[in-house]
């Protein structure tokens, strides 16, 4: 017997237009600049994880903006900016950031900033606990060098299921008060020296509730609709692959998934909707905070990179550690993120070097390995195998076409592309929005 023809179950969505921008090393690769470049033609820019441990810089017409919690795309006057459920938000610092950027020229943010009702809140006491934990770890010689922005303690509260979300702040304030008091009590049992003026905090947060109310939405539906309507959606990764809580150099990592999986869980975007994954790669490597760093150069080469690259943290102003480009590491993060293209930044910083090196393999206990060691102790013992290439010793600052780069600079870029197998579509040669080479 023939059944009736199956009804079409749903309307097929338009082909999605979601592009993800991720840090491929230990952070500060120049993600902000790439987001700014792509946001010029985007409809929505969203953050999926991390908090204000991130510091993303954009330079437009000589004015420098730094973003920590706000998606960098907010600088484009027509782009909607979403702070997703996977982000942890310290409201006082979010509003400070808004005020600072408004003074620099950021416009009509109220109409464009959207905050997920599922995002967790970072409280001052989380930041205090971050500091106390670091102090304790430092005493044992095991400091992580966190940004002390309360990121780890807040994600811990989330995982132990007594964290407080944006939606809780907008609901019945009596319930918020109970949750807040219980959470403070729990932290104080763990850290008896922690002082919290509960009444003062509650008064402050009652005011924040009114302030953020117009900005809060169910961002899952909002993004779903944007994607179905064929809008161009950018996702701005924070931190980076080697700081990922699962795949990074644990425990010297941050507390979220900064690899591509964090995009799906931190925004509620289905994996098949992600069309492009752009890895941002600094032409050398930097790391801020503690932990193993196989290609680190504690010598005049590292100092040169640090000085020419002005390698100071945007969030903590700490000096960044510097070293050669590590392609073995990029091959590893490519396995996880599946980059569809690379943007190589800060090529100009290497302009004066006589020769440049690229790490292409690791040896552990004298034996070549084909995996990324999972323990910090093994990773700190690896020896790098390098290839050495002649430098170009010419300025690349004003170059805007690949063919106009010095031949040795072209060779360096081609070598990275060949070794990782990911096409390089952009090359950064300066801080400004215009200082970029686009390759078709």
From 177, 190, 178, select the one nearest 128 (Cα to Cα).
190
Contact call for residues 316 and 144 (beta carbons, < 8 A): no
Q: Considering CB distances under 5 to 8 angstroms, the limit depending on partner class, which of ligand IMO, ligand GDP, Mg ion, none binds residue 133?
A: none
Q: Please, what is the minimum distance in Å from the beta carbon of residue 201 to Mg ion?
A: 29
- Residue 185: which residues within 8 A CB-CB, separation 6 or more? none
d(CA 49, CA 267): 9
Which C-beta is closer to ligand GDP: that of 19 or that of 345? 345
Q: Considering CB distances under 5 to 8 angstroms, the limit depending on partner class, which of ligand IMO, ligand GDP, Mg ion, none binds residue 348?
A: ligand GDP
- Decide: is 44 part of the binding site for ligand GDP (CB under 6 A): no
Q: Which residues bind ligand IMO (CB under 6 A)?
A: 23, 27-28, 53-56, 144-147, 149, 151-152, 238-240, 243, 254-255, 288-289
Chain residues 269-288 in contact with ligand GDP, contact rule CB under 6 A: none
- Residue 228: which residues within 8 A CB-CB, separation 6 or more? 13, 14
x/- mask, Mg ion, residues 12-51, rule CB under 5 A, reads: ----------------x-----------------------
Q: Please, what is the minimum distance in Å from the beta carbon of residue 5 to ligand GDP?
A: 53
Question: Three-state DSSP class for 295?
Answer: coil
Q: Please, what is the minimum distance in Å from the beta carbon of residue 153 to ligand IMO?
A: 9
d(CA 124, CA 116): 20
d(CA 259, CA 277): 10
Q: Considering CB distances under 5 to 8 angstroms, the limit depending on partner class, which of Mg ion, ligand IMO, ligand GDP, none binds residue 53?
A: ligand IMO
Q: Which of 36, 43, 56, 90 is catalytic?
A: 56
Q: Please, what is the minimum distance in Å from the beta carbon of residue 256 to ligand GDP?
A: 15
- Decide: is 326 part of the binding site for ligand GDP (CB under 6 A): no
Active site residue 378: no
From 23, 43, 47, 26, select the one nearest 34 (Cα to Cα).
23
Give burial (CB, 10 Å; 0-12/13-18/19+) of 284. buried
Active site residue 56: yes
Q: Please, what is the minimum distance in Å from the beta carbon of residue 168 to ligand IMO?
A: 23
- Residue 14: which residues within 8 A CB-CB, separation 6 or more? 227, 228, 229, 230
Which C-beta is closer to ligand GDP: that of 136 or that of 397? 397
Which C-beta is closer to Mg ion: that of 288 or that of 379? 288
């Amino acid at each position: 017997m023939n059944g009736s023809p199956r009804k079409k179950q749903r309307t097929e969505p338009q082909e999605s237009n979601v592009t993800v921008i991720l840090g491929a090393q230990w952070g500060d690769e120049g993600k902000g600049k790439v987001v700014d470049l792509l946001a010029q033609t985007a409809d929505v820019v969203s953050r999926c994880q991390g908090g204000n441990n991130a510091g993303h810089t954009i330079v437009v017409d000589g004015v420098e903006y730094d973003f920590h919690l706000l998606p960098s795309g907010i600088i484009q006057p027509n782009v909607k900016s979403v702070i997703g459920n996977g982000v942890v938000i310290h409201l006082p610092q979010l509003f400070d950031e808004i005020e600072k950027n408004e003074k620099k020229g950021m416009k009509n943010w109220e109409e464009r900033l959207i905050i997920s009702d599922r995002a967790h809140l970072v409280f001052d006491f989380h930041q205090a606990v971050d500091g106390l934990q670091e102090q304790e770890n430092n005493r044992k010689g095991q400091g992580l060098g966190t940004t002390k922005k309360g990121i780890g303690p807040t994600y811990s509260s989330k995982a132990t299921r007594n964290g407080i979300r944006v939606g809780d702040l907008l609901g019945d304030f009596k319930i918020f008060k109970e949750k807040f008091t219980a959470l403070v009590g729990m932290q104080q049992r763990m850290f008896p020296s922690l002082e919290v003026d509960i009444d003062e905090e509650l008064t402050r947060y009652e005011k924040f509730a009114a302030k953020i109310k117009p900005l809060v939405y169910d961002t899952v539906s909002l993004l779903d609709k944007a994607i179905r309507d064929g809008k161009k959606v950018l996702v701005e990764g924070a931190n980076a692959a080697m700081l990922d809580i699962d795949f990074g150099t644990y425990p010297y990592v941050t507390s979220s998934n900064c690899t591509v999986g964090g995009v799906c869980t931190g925004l509620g975007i289905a994996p098949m909707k992600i069309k492009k994954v752009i890895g941002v790669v600094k032409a050398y490597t930097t790391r801020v905070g503690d932990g193993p760093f196989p290609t680190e150069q504690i010598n005049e080469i590292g100092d040169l990179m640090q000085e020419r690259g002005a390698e100071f943290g945007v969030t903590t102003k700490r000096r960044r550690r510097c070293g050669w480009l590590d392609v073995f590491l990029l091959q590893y993060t490519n396995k996880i993120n599946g980059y569809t293209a690379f943007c190589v930044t800060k090529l100009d910083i290497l302009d004066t070097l006589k020769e440049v090196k690229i790490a292409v393999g690791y040896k552990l206990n004298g034996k070549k390995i084909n995996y990324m060691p999972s323990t910090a102790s093994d990773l700190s013992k690896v020896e790098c195998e390098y290839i050495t290439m002649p430098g170009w010793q010419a300025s690349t600052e004003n170059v805007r076409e690949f063919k106009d780069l010095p031949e040795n600079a072209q060779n360096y870029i081609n070598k990275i592309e060949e070794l990782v197998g990911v096409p390089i579509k952009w090359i950064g040669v300066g801080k400004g929005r215009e200082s970029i080479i686009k390759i078709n």
